[in-house]
Amino acid sequence: KKNKKGKNTRTSIMVASLNMRGHGTLGPDDTNNKWMLINQLMRTNRIGILAIQEAHLTEEFAEQINDLFERRLSVIWSQGDNSRAKGIAFVINREIMSADHNIKVDDIVPGRVAMLSIQWHNNLKLKILNVYAPNGATENGAFWSEIQNTLEEKDLPKPDMMLGDHNTVEDSIDRLPNRSDSATTVDPLRELQTKLGLIDGWRTTNPTDKAFTWTNGRSHSRIDRIYVSRTIHNTAVDWDITEAPGLETDHKIVSVRITNPQMPHIGTGRWTIPELLLKSKKLSKSVIALGKKMIQEIGSIQTRTDEKNPQIIFEKFKAEVIAKARTTAKIEIPKLKKRTDDMKKDLKATLNARNTPEAKTIADAGVLQKQITALENLRHASIRMATKARDAMEGETISKYWSSVN
Edge-to-edge strands, sheet with 12-19: 73-78, 88-93, 47-53, 12-19, 253-259, 237-242
Buried b (16+ CB within 10 A) or exposed e, 76-115: bbbbeeebeebbbbbbbbbebbbbeeebebbbbbebbbbb
Residue 321 shares a structural domain with residue 340? no
* Residue 90, in any domain of the structure: yes
Q: What is the CATH number of the domain that holds 237?
A: 3.60.10.10
Residue 300 shares a structural domain with residue 396? no
* Residue 345, in any domain of the structure: yes
Distance CA 22, CA 25 (A): 9
Residue 56 shares a structural domain with residue 174? yes
* Residue 136, in any domain of the structure: yes
> Residues at the annotated binding site?
19, 54, 165, 167, 250-251
* Residue 73, in any domain of the structure: yes
Query: Which residues fall within 8 angstroms of residue 373, CB to CB, at 6 or more apart?
Result: 243, 245
> Closest Cα to residue 7, out of 52, 76, 74, 64?
74
* Residue 148, in any domain of the structure: yes
The residues annotated with a catalytic role in the active site are 132, 165, 251
Phi and psi for 259 in degrees, rounded to 5?
-125, 140
**Can you give the pTM of this predicted structure?**
0.75
Residue 18 shares a structural domain with residue 48? yes
The 8-class DSSP code of residue 251 comes to B
Residue 99 shares a structural domain with residue 203? yes
* Residue 6, in any domain of the structure: no
Distance CA 109, CA 133 (A): 10
Return the pLDDT at 294. Answer: 94
Q: Strand 125-132 vs strand 161-165: parallel, antiparallel, or unpaired?
A: parallel
Is there a contact between 176 and 356 (Cβ–Cβ < 8 Å)? no
> Closest Cα to residue 162, out of 133, 130, 189, 190?
130
Residue span of the structural domain in which 281 resides: 275-332
Total tally of structural domains belonging to the chain: 3
> pLDDT tens, position by position, for the chain (406 residues)?
344 445 556 788 999 999 999 888 887 777 778 998 899 899 989 999 999 999 999 999 999 999 999 989 999 999 988 888 899 999 999 999 988 878 999 999 999 999 999 988 777 899 999 999 999 999 999 999 999 999 999 999 999 999 999 999 999 999 999 999 999 999 999 999 999 999 999 999 999 999 999 999 889 999 999 999 999 999 999 999 998 888 889 999 999 999 987 776 666 677 788 776 777 888 999 999 999 999 999 999 988 998 889 999 999 999 999 999 988 887 776 666 778 888 888 888 888 888 888 888 888 888 888 888 887 777 666 666 666 655 665 655 655 555 555 5
Element spanning 404, H or E: helix 400-405
